[in-house]
Amino acid sequence: LPFKQYLLLCLIILSICHGQSVLPPGPVDAILGKNVTLKVLKKTEATDDIVWNYSDGTNLNIVARLKAGKVLVADLYKGRASLNATNGFLTLTGLTVKDSGDYSISILGDEQAAAGEVKLRVLQPVSGVIITANVTEAMEGSTVSLNCSAQGSFLEFVWTNGSSPIVVDGVQFFNRLIIKDVYRSDSSNPIFCTARNGLQSEKSRPVTLTVFYGPDVVIINPAKPPEFIKSKEDFNLTCSAASKPDAVLSWYYNNQQIKNSGPVLTLKTIEEQGLGKTAGDYKCNAVNSKTTNARNSSAVRFSVIEPLSGAQMTGPKPPLFAGNSTANLSCQVSAGKVTETVWLRNNEPLSASPRVVFSSDMSSVAINPVQKDDNGNFVCKLKNPVSEEKAEYKLEVFYGPEEAAIKGVKEVDLEGTVLLNCSASSVPLSEFTWKLNGTAVSEKSNVLTINKPKFEDSGTYTCEARNPVTGKTVTFTHVLSVKAEIIDGLSDGAIAGIVIACLLAVGIAIGLFFYCRAKVP
């Protein structure tokens, strides 16, 4: 080699070994068909000899040279390459793919030499980014493979679910994304593929996965219905299960399918098909038409009870006589089934006894014989698990009169009022008559009133009570004593005169008696 070229080569090697920065770090990316300028970091002098070379890995070609202030461009690059004599920058226009490669610079000055190398990448524009999937409809738990294709050079691919990078439950491998054990949430957002290089990027159209799943746990609401449901009540069972597509729902009663059922099973449907009269198990079955999976709910159990209505009590024909008659009372309803019957008499529980006998189903009671205590109001309370009714009957038992008595004072002064009250237990009420010393008194009620009694009001009072139905009569007597009148306010002389007059009158009467007797022959 000539000495000067040898010296230049040595300086280049020394410059590289010492790591002097002549060119910026690479690679330098440029777009196909556009322009690029390779900058020089080291300040150059006007007297420097600068050479730009290109290598495709096999051949080394000179692109341009600055020598003695004059720029020389190789024939292969004329019209496309230019070298700035001031700063040593190399500009290439109308880039082609063949311009990609390694560009090196050699600078030889009067006192120093330097060299550097940088890689140029001519990038084809990014376009035509498309995602293709092995399936567009997947079953939950299966594997989905997505492939991203694009035009361009030096490409890398980024996958996103919505705006979030896909890093969970998936493996990203270049332009291929594999989602293992695909889950329902993977269909909540669209999936995008972005192809990019150092200068450009382009996003694909979204791909939304359809993930079929379910049915999950089948739920009936209410989960614990009442044990007994009133007939014709507004009551429904609803069935739900997470599923895509929506599960086909059907209902079963004791493993017998209910016709025309859906997500809502109404009590009306149950009754129209003659179900529910006895306690039974209700289940909901869910079937997914895509996954072909089927699941049953837990069973709920209840029975449908018709409420009671039209309660009525019937009784015996009157009259009823205490000790001689029998009363049969019957309590019935026009609708519903009675499960419990309670009998009351005058608001007190009616208990069985030798003369009070209930039927086996408690729907009737026989009282034989009736007694006076059976008078009053009889009530039957009828119950079933969903309702309660009652009926009443007034029973009238004729008896008496009995236990007659007269209440009143036995002695009285001449002043005041005397009340004699005659009582006798009787149904119906007794008719009363009064007598004084055997003589009838005009009073017809049970109370005899004597205003300002006199001495002649003394004597034996008789009360007679008569039951107009039974014809029975009882009497009771009462002795009343009215004290004699005492004359107050006379002097002792007047009293003595009265006594003497009385004695004279008695004497005259005796004399006349004997005189008349003597005259008689």
pLDDT at 96 > cutoff 80: yes
The topology under which CATH files domain 399-482 is Immunoglobulin-like (2.60.40)
- For 43-55, b where at least 16 C-beta lie within 10 A, e where not — what string? ebeeebbbbbbbe
Q: Each residue of 371-410: pLDDT tens digit?
A: 999 999 999 999 999 999 999 999 999 999 988 799 999 9
SS3 353: strand
Distance CA 399, CA 512 (A): 66
Q: What's 306's DSSP letter?
A: P
Residue 489: the pLDDT is 45
The topology under which CATH files domain 127-212 is Immunoglobulin-like (2.60.40)
Residue 388: the pLDDT is 97
pLDDT at 515 > cutoff 70: no
Mean per-residue pLDDT, 293-302: 97
Distance CA 137, CA 16 (A): 59
pLDDT at 493 > cutoff 70: no
Residue 6: the pLDDT is 47
Range 219-305: architecture per CATH: Sandwich (2.60)
Token output for 332: 């019935």
Q: Each residue of 79-88: pLDDT tens digit?
A: 999 999 999 9
Mean per-residue pLDDT, 33-44: 93
Does 312-395 match 3-123 at the fold level?
Answer: yes
Mean per-residue pLDDT, 238-256: 96
Q: Is 409 left (phi over 0), alpha (psi -120 to 50) or beta?
A: beta
- Listed residue (366, 275, 385) closest to 325, CA to CA: 366
HSE-up of residue 221 (Cα within 13 Å, Cβ side)? 7
Name, of 56-60, 337-341, 449-453, the range with top average pLDDT: 337-341
- Listed residue (434, 435, 436) closest to 447, CA to CA: 434
Mean per-residue pLDDT, 282-294: 96
pLDDT at 339 > cutoff 70: yes
pLDDT at 170 > cutoff 80: no
Lookup result for tokens 């038409």? 289
Confidence of residue 166 (pLDDT cuts 50, 70, 90): confident
Residue 57 phi, psi (nearest 5)? 100, -15
Q: Do residues 136 and 146 make contact, with C-beta atoms less than 8 angstroms apart?
A: no
Residue 296: the pLDDT is 97
Mean per-residue pLDDT, 303-331: 96
Q: Do residues 170 and 177 make contact, with C-beta atoms less than 8 angstroms apart?
A: yes
pLDDT at 15 > cutoff 90: no
Token output for 328: 């049969």
- 203 beta partners: 194
The domain spans of the chain are: 3-123, 127-212, 219-305, 312-395, 399-482
Q: Each residue of 420-461: pLDDT tens digit?
A: 999 999 999 999 999 999 999 999 999 999 998 998 889 999
| Contacts with 306 (C-beta within 8 Å, 6 or more apart), sequence order | 231, 335, 336, 337
Strands (E), 56-98: 60-67, 70-73, 81-83, 90-92
Range 312-395: architecture per CATH: Sandwich (2.60)
**Size of the chain, expressed as the number of residues it contains:** 521
pLDDT at 3 > cutoff 60: no
Mean per-residue pLDDT, 288-296: 95
pLDDT at 95 > cutoff 50: yes
Residue 356: the pLDDT is 97
What mean pLDDT is reported for the chain?
88
Q: Do residues 166 and 134 make contact, with C-beta atoms less than 8 angstroms apart?
A: no
Distance CA 361, CA 311 (A): 16
Question: How are the residues of the chain apportioned to helix, strand and coil, as percentages rounded to the nearest 5?
Answer: 10, 45, 40
pLDDT at 311 > cutoff 50: yes
Residue 7: the pLDDT is 47
Residue 1: the pLDDT is 41
Distance CA 66, CA 44 (A): 11
Q: Do residues 266 and 249 make contact, with C-beta atoms less than 8 angstroms apart?
A: no
Q: What's 389's DSSP letter?
A: E
Residue 512: the pLDDT is 57
Mean per-residue pLDDT, 268-273: 94
Residue 415: the pLDDT is 77
pLDDT at 149 > cutoff 90: yes
pLDDT at 239 > cutoff 60: yes
Q: For the whole model, what pTM was predicted?
A: 0.61
Residue 207: the pLDDT is 93
Confidence of residue 172 (pLDDT cuts 50, 70, 90): low
Lookup result for tokens 């019209």? 79
Residue 494: the pLDDT is 47
Residue 509: the pLDDT is 61
Superfamily of domain 3-123: Immunoglobulins (2.60.40.10)
- 431 beta partners: 466
pLDDT at 520 > cutoff 60: no
DSSP string spanning 291-349? T--EEEPPPEEEEEEPPPB--EEE-PPSP-BTTT--EEEEEE-SBS---EEEEEETTEE
Confidence of residue 499 (pLDDT cuts 50, 70, 90): low
Residue 407: the pLDDT is 93
SS3 186: helix
Confidence of residue 19 (pLDDT cuts 50, 70, 90): very low
Residue 47: the pLDDT is 87
Confidence of residue 168 (pLDDT cuts 50, 70, 90): low
Neighbours of 103 (CB within 10 A): 22
